[in-house]
């Protein structure tokens, strides 16, 4: 390699010469030869790849201002050379941070620069005074190479931990005064341990003490709530597929669902209200990738579309995507929408036919499949966005575009944004947390620009950080001029709170009137000296009058009692309007309820703080409507949205379901009209304490406990005297079937036996039954000799379906039908692909290899009456008059008789046969006995003969039996009990416990018939469609005294 001699200690090698060598990346050695002498330097030169196409990634892009995080820079090629240092430069350009060594070997600043290899570099993030965005550079061979950005974040702020979060998840939220309103977008259904859990819904909390939020109320809803806006006494909710929900929050302990307006085929995801124009914007999207923003007039009880605000459709061009979040700011509408996994921001400043907007992509604005995680909050010159994983801060540049200047990882995959005074709350897994911002901005101005300021009214400016409240400082930053550009005198006060700074400005209206313009300049600073990011100008009209103010509206009852704000609107009611500054002259007042003007003659009385008037007859399209009340005095006016709710008179129309358990605790839906949060529901004389008003026509009620049988259900509205309605049908305290199917109605079809195979039921008809009316009175004794085999599909147990048989161009609802005297079929058993049924003197054998098409193979009859049947492993045991006959199914499918266990041996005619392990159990009712017969030897020897006695020693005739280990369960028929016997001690069955069935029908008979033991639940057929279930876990644990 060519070199140049400098002096006796120095040689110079040109790097251009090295470039000509075929050097690979990595270490290279230098060897010097001078005559016979040689010297070498191992690893003298490190060769790296070119920087032109190098790409770098930081493993961490944000961290706390205290620093200390170890950050790794990874390159896609070998470009990081030894001696590389890191440098961080702030976005403002005011701060540069790099390692600074001192002469004594210590460091003024040490970032612990570490070149691990040619593609990996590590350093430690330094501490900074304030959160800011820093650009990270690597200084490689004297060249600055940008490798990424690092956002310094705030430490965790104060939080409000809400009960039941998690598992419940905040989907929308708004703070007003000391109340926090929450929309729930996910959660869990209530359980016996926590009845306040809910999957979706709306909640109100008192957060006067942040450390101890108190739940005031909640409403369970059918879909996720991901948007929420408050207007006076009304909360508007974006409720997914249910659309726009309107909730009365006049009484925060009893919010009231007024109505829901669906958005067919779309998902309502967010809403916001422009209070100065009373325009509600609703963002909705479809799963197909499009959506729209629809507008509603909140002054109209029917929420009609306001003039000049046509729906904005997001389905083409730069408005192609799914609108997820909306926010009004100074007459502009900000819309956050998703387009192929990237968030975009559209800002609309004109609407209707003159639609005008600008659109930009959001840097770092990626979003996953859970679109409800997107959230947007707008301040002056600043936009905050959450995508579920990061909290992004965007600032407006000189071109009107918003640049991402700050980001922070979220604690959990949530991140709903909401204003908290001037500050910002962001939701996390536990509730909401205060989230500071690095820059000073105006968060809100109340009232909005363009409004009228009457006497004693102030302008409140909310800011997101604590501010310099010095009077001279504030006056230097705030200028107010009139229409002639002359300075206007004003009073100003700065206040710092936990939620940020605020400035209150007031005027002497006797000296100032007309139009004014107010500018909050960038001279305003936070307490740490940071200036306001963007100035703001607003306009007002000063009026030298006192504005009439509305507090509440009540309905007057009995000329003296003030009831809530619910009215029937039938023209017979009197309203009392409470407030201030109404004057004394009703001729000067313009009073409106909704769009209905109250004439002077209908105003009963007026004082400075109260107006009494005849409430008009309201002709409304909706049964339940929320109406605003407005009052105008001279040139000033006020309006209270949701001041009155018009409901029809209470009526109860239907219950679903109409039955339930006597212990209560089950939930039923009650339908009718005129329901309010004060409605009271009675089951007989028992009041239901847990009532949820789903809507004015729908209550969801937790049924109180009651006695078995019928109970009248009534609803009472205590706000309206003597207003009671009784359900046309009583509630019945009993269980409820999951589903049912009607069998053939061309013949009597009482069900005599059922067997289940996979998702099919094989049903036999026959027998007799008694017909009762709802009072339990016998109407008739009915019997049939028609025997049918019916197949029912129960794959959907809620909607079981009868499978039909196609035969000779006929569709038949059965697969077998015949007359079998005296009472049709009586029992059936399934053994693999074989089904056996008995009735009268017949034993029928069906092949069910094709499960949905039983085929009759054989029929056996010997003129003896069949009384019992059981089957095990191709062996059939048939109870008859002469005893128990034993048959075997041969390979050719024919049935061969193998043996007869005579009646004399058994001790009488058997009524029930059960196989348990290797023992055949036979019920002999004539002898009040159960006989155990061994099967292993093939001789059918009697093992045990158990006499059935109740606890008092009287013999009982059993109806059915089942065996579990050493326990024998026997149902006692008309005695209506199940007797439990211990058969483990030898020859004697000891009665150790019993249970009594309960009467569920008025005056009805009751009997304990067939039983089924499933797990620890004993099912007992009690007759007349009554199935009673008993938990016998205590018995199975040998606790026989337990109930």
* pLDDT, mean of residues 424-442: 89
Share of the chain above pLDDT 70, in %: 98
Integer angstrom CA distances of residue 723 from 25, 711, 728, 792: 92, 20, 16, 48
- 254 strand-pairing partners: none
Integer angstrom CA distances of residue 562 from 39, 593, 609: 107, 18, 15
Of 563-577, 701-715, 731-745, the poorest mean pLDDT is in 731-745
Of the CATH numbers 3.40.50.261, 3.30.300.130, 3.40.50.1220, 2.60.40.10, which one belongs to the domain with range 56-153? 2.60.40.10
The pLDDT score that the predictor gives to residue 769 is 75
The pLDDT score that the predictor gives to residue 270 is 96
Domain pair 56-153 / 651-733, same fold: yes
Residue 1000 has pLDDT above 60, yes or no: no
Integer angstrom CA distances of residue 354 from 362, 530, 591: 26, 39, 35
The distance of Cα 700 from the centroid of its chain, to the nearest Å, equals 17
- 204 strand-pairing partners: 181, 217
CB neighbour list of residue 748: distance below 8 Å, 6 or more residues apart:
765, 782, 783, 784, 786
CATH class of 159-434: mainly beta
The distance of Cα 520 from the centroid of its chain, to the nearest Å, equals 43
The two beta strands, 382-386 and 390-396, are antiparallel
pLDDT band at 18 (very low <50, low <70, confident <90, very high): confident
pLDDT band at 776 (very low <50, low <70, confident <90, very high): low
Question: Hey, is 478 helix, strand or coil?
Answer: strand
The helices-and-strands tally (H runs, E runs) of the chain is 4, 97
* Domain 651-733 = CATH 2.60.40.10: yes
State the Cα angle at 979 between 977 and 984, rounded to 5°: 170
Residue 1003 has pLDDT above 60, yes or no: no
Residue 545 has pLDDT above 50, yes or no: yes
Of 221-235, 564-578, 1029-1043, the poorest mean pLDDT is in 1029-1043
DSSP state for residue 370 in the 8-state scheme: -
Question: Hey, is 35 helix, strand or coil?
Answer: coil
CA pair distance 228, 183, nearest whole angstrom: 7
Question: Which of 320, 323, 318 has its CA nearest to residue 334?
Answer: 323
The tokens for 190 are 């209530």
Read off the pLDDT of residues 787-806 as tens digits, 9 standing for 90 and up: 999 999 999 988 899 999 98
Using CB atoms within 10 Å of the CB of residue 764, give its burial: 0 to 12 exposed, 13 to 18 middle, 19+ buried.
buried
3-state secondary structure 812-879: ECCCEEEECCCCECCEEEEECCEEEEEECCEEEEEECCCCCCCEEEEEEECCCCEEEEEEECCEEEEE
The tokens for 623 are 């049964």
CA pair distance 411, 435, nearest whole angstrom: 12
Cis bond before residue 167 (omega within 30° of 0): yes
741-861 adopts what CATH topology?
Answer: Lipocalin (2.40.128)
Which phi and psi angles does 588 have, rounded to 5°? -90, -10
* pLDDT, mean of residues 591-618: 94
Residue 710 has pLDDT above 90, yes or no: no
The distance of Cα 194 from the centroid of its chain, to the nearest Å, equals 16
CB neighbour list of residue 709: distance below 8 Å, 6 or more residues apart:
732, 733, 999, 1000, 1001, 1002
549-646 adopts what CATH topology?
Answer: Immunoglobulin-like (2.60.40)
Question: Hey, is 467 helix, strand or coil?
Answer: strand
Residue corresponding to tokens 């007309």: 514
Q: Say if residues 527 and 468 touch (Cβ distance below 8 Å).
A: yes
CA pair distance 591, 889, nearest whole angstrom: 92
Question: DSSP letters along 70-91, please?
Answer: EEEEEESSS---TT-EEEEEET
DSSP state for residue 475 in the 8-state scheme: H
Question: Which of 697, 564, 5, 2 has its CA nearest to residue 250?
Answer: 564
DSSP state for residue 973 in the 8-state scheme: B
The pLDDT score that the predictor gives to residue 1002 is 45
Residue 911 has pLDDT above 90, yes or no: yes
CA pair distance 548, 454, nearest whole angstrom: 10
- 670 strand-pairing partners: 655, 699
Cis bond before residue 447 (omega within 30° of 0): yes
Domain residue limits, the chain: 3-47, 56-153, 159-434, 442-542, 549-646, 651-733, 741-861
Question: DSSP letters along 386-455, please?
Answer: E-SSEEEEEEE-TTS-EEEEEEEE-SSS---EEEETTEEEEEETTEEEE---SSB-EEEEESPTT-EE-T
CA pair distance 261, 394, nearest whole angstrom: 34
Q: What is the CATH number of domain 442-542?
A: 2.60.40.3710
The pLDDT score that the predictor gives to residue 53 is 87
* pLDDT, mean of residues 709-714: 88
* pLDDT, mean of residues 940-967: 93
The pLDDT score that the predictor gives to residue 121 is 96
DSSP state for residue 559 in the 8-state scheme: T
The total of other beta-carbon atoms located within 10 Å of residue 343's CB is 25
The total of other beta-carbon atoms located within 10 Å of residue 34's CB is 7
Read off the pLDDT of residues 810-841 as tens digits, 9 standing for 90 and up: 888 899 999 999 999 999 999 999 999 999 99
What integer best gives the mean pLDDT of the chain? 90
Read off the pLDDT of residues 254-295 as tens digits, 9 standing for 90 and up: 898 888 899 989 999 999 999 889 999 999 999 999 999 999
Distance between terminal CA atoms of the chain?
A: 102
* pLDDT, mean of residues 575-587: 94
Read off the pLDDT of residues 360-379 as tens digits, 9 standing for 90 and up: 999 999 999 999 999 999 99
Element (H, E) at 906: helix 903-906
CA pair distance 660, 704, nearest whole angstrom: 10
The pLDDT score that the predictor gives to residue 96 is 92
Strands lying side by side in the sheet with 85-90: 62-64, 143-153, 133-140, 85-90, 96-98
Tell me the residue ranges of DSSP E strands in 187-266: 201-206, 214-220, 227-231, 234-238, 244-248, 256-261
Q: Model pTM?
A: 0.67
Answer positive or negative: Cα dihedral of 101, 103, 106, 108. Answer: negative
Using CB atoms within 10 Å of the CB of residue 944, give its burial: 0 to 12 exposed, 13 to 18 middle, 19+ buried.
middle
CA pair distance 918, 915, nearest whole angstrom: 7
Most confident of 8-12, 226-230, 525-529, 562-566: 226-230
3-state secondary structure 937-951: CCCCCEEEEEECECC
CA pair distance 201, 194, nearest whole angstrom: 16
Residue 1001 has pLDDT above 60, yes or no: no
The tokens for 313 are 């459709």
């Amino acid at each position: 390699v060519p070199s140049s001699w400098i002096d006796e200690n120095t040689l110079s090698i040109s790097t251009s010469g090295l470039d000509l060598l075929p050097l690979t990346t990595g270490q290279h050695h230098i060897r010097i030869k001078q005559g016979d002498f040689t010297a070498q330097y191992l690893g003298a030169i490190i060769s790296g790849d070119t920087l032109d196409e190098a790409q770098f990634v930081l493993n961490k892009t944000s961290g706390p201002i205290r620093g200390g995080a170890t950050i790794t820079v990874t390159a896609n090629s070998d470009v990081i050379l030894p001696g590389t240092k890191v440098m961080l430069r702030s976005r403002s350009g005011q701060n540069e941070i790099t390692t600074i060594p001192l002469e004594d070997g210590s460091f003024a600043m040490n970032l612990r620069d570490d070149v691990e290899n040619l593609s990996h570099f590590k350093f430690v993030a330094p501490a900074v005074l304030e959160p800011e965005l820093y650009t990270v550079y690597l200084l490689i061979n004297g060249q600055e190479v940008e490798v990424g950005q690092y956002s310094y974040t705030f430490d965790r702020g104060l939080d409000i931990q809400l009960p039941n979060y998690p598992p419940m998840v905040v989907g929308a939220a708004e703070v007003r005064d000391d109340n926090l309103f929450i929309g729930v977008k996910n959660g869990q259904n209530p359980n016996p341990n926590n009845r306040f859990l809910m999957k979706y819904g709306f909640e109100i909390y008192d957060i006067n003490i942040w450390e101890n939020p108190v739940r005031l109320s909640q409403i369970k809803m059918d879909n996720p709530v991901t948007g929420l806006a408050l207007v006076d006494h009304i909360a508007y909710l974006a409720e997914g597929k249910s659309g726009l929900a309107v909730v009365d929050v006049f009484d925060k302990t009893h919010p009231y669902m007024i109505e829901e307006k669906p958005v067919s085929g779309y998902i309502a995801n967010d809403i916001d209200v422009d209070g100065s124009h009373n325009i509600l914007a609703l963002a909705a999207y479809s799963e197909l990738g499009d959506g729209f923003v629809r507008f509603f007039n909140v002054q109209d009880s029917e929420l009609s579309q306001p003039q000049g605000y046509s729906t904005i459709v997001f389905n083409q061009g730069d408005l192609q995507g799914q609108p997820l979040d909306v926010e009004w700011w100074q007459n502009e509408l900000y819309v956050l929408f998703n387009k192929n996994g990237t968030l975009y921001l559209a800002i609309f400043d004109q609407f209707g036919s003159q639609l005008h907007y600008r659109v930009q992509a959001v840097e770092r604005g990626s979003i996953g499949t859970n679109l409800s995680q997107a959230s947007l909050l707008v301040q002056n010159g600043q936009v905050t966005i959450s995508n579920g994983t990061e909290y992004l801060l965007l600032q407006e540049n000189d071109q009107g575009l918003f640049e991402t200047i700050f980001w922070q990882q979220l604690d959990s995959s949530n991140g709903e944004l909401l204003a908290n005074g001037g500050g910002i709350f962001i939701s996390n897994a536990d509730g909401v947390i205060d989230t500071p911002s690095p820059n000073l901005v105006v968060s809100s101005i109340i009232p909005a620009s363009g409004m009228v300021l009457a006497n004693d009214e102030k302008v409140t400016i909310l800011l997101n950080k604590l501010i310099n409240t010095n009077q001279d400082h504030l006056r230097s930053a705030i200028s107010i001029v009139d229409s002639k550009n002359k300075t206007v005198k004003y009073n100003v006060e700065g206040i710092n709170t936990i939620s940020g700074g605020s400035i209150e400005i007031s005027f002497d209206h006797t000296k100032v009137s007309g139009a004014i313009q107010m500018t909050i300049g960038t001279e305003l600073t936070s307490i740490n000296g940071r200036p306001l990011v963007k100035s703001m100008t607003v306009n007002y009209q000063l009026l030298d009058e006192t504005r009439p103010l509305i507090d509440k509206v009540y309905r007057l009852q009995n000329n003296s009692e003030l009831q809530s704000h619910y009215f029937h609107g039938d023209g017979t009611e009197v309203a009392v309007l409470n407030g201030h500054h109404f004057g004394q002259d009703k001729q000067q007042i313009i009073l409106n309820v909704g769009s209905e003007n109250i004439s002077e003659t209908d105003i009963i009385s007026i004082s400075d703080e109260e107006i009494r008037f005849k409430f008009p007859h309201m002709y409304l399209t909706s049964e339940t409507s929320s109406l605003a009340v407005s009052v105008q005095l001279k040139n000033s006016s006020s309006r209270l949205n949701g001041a009155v709710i018009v409901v029809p008179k209470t009526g109860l129309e239907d219950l679903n379901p109409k039955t339930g358990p006597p212990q209560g605790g089950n939930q039923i839906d009650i339908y009718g009209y005129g329901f309010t949060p004060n409605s009271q529901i009675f089951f007989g004389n028992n009041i239901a304490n847990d009532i949820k008003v789903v809507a004015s026509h729908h209550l969801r009620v937790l049924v109180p406990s009651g006695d078995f049988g019928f109970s009248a259900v009534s609803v009472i509205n205590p706000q309206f005297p003597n207003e009671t309605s009784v359900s046309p049908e009583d509630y019945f305290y009993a269980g409820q079937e999951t589903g049912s199917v009607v069998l053939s109605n061309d013949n009597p079809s009482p069900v005599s036996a059922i067997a289940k195979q996979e998702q099919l039921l094989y049903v036999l008809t026959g027998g007799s039954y008694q017909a009762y009316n709802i009072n339990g009175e016998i109407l008739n004794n009915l019997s049939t000799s028609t025997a049918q085999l019916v197949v029912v599909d129960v794959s959907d147990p809620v909607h079981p379906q009868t499978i039909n048989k196609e035969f000779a161009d006929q569709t038949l609802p059965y697969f077998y039908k015949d007359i079998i005297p005296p009472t049709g079929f009586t029992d059936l058993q399934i053994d693999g692909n074989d089904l056996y049924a008995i009735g009268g003197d017949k034993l029928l054998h069906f092949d069910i290899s094709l499960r949905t098409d039983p085929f009759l193979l054989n029929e056996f009859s010997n003129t003896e009456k069949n009384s019992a049947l059981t089957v095990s492993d191709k062996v059939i045991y048939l109870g008859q008059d002469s005893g128990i006959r034993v048959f075997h199914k041969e390979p050719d499918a024919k049935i061969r008789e193998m043996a007869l266990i005579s009646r004399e041996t058994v001790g009488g005619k058997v009524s029930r046969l059960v196989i348990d392990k290797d023992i055949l159990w036979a019920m002999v009712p004539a002898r009040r006995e159960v006989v155990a017969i061994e099967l292993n030897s093939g001789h059918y020897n009697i093992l045990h003969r158990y006499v059935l006695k109740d606890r008092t020693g009287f013999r009982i005739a059993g109806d059915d039996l089942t065996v579990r280990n050493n326990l024998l369960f026997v149902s006692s028929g008309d005695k209506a009990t199940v007797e439990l016997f211990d058969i483990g001690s030898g020859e004697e069955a000891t009665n150790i416990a019993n249970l009594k069935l309960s009467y569920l029908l008025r005056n009805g008979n009751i009997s304990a018939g067939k039983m089924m033991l499933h797990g620890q639940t004993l099912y007992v057929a009690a007759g007349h469609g009554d199935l009673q279930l008993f938990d016998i876990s205590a018995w199975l644990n040998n606790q026989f005294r337990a109930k």
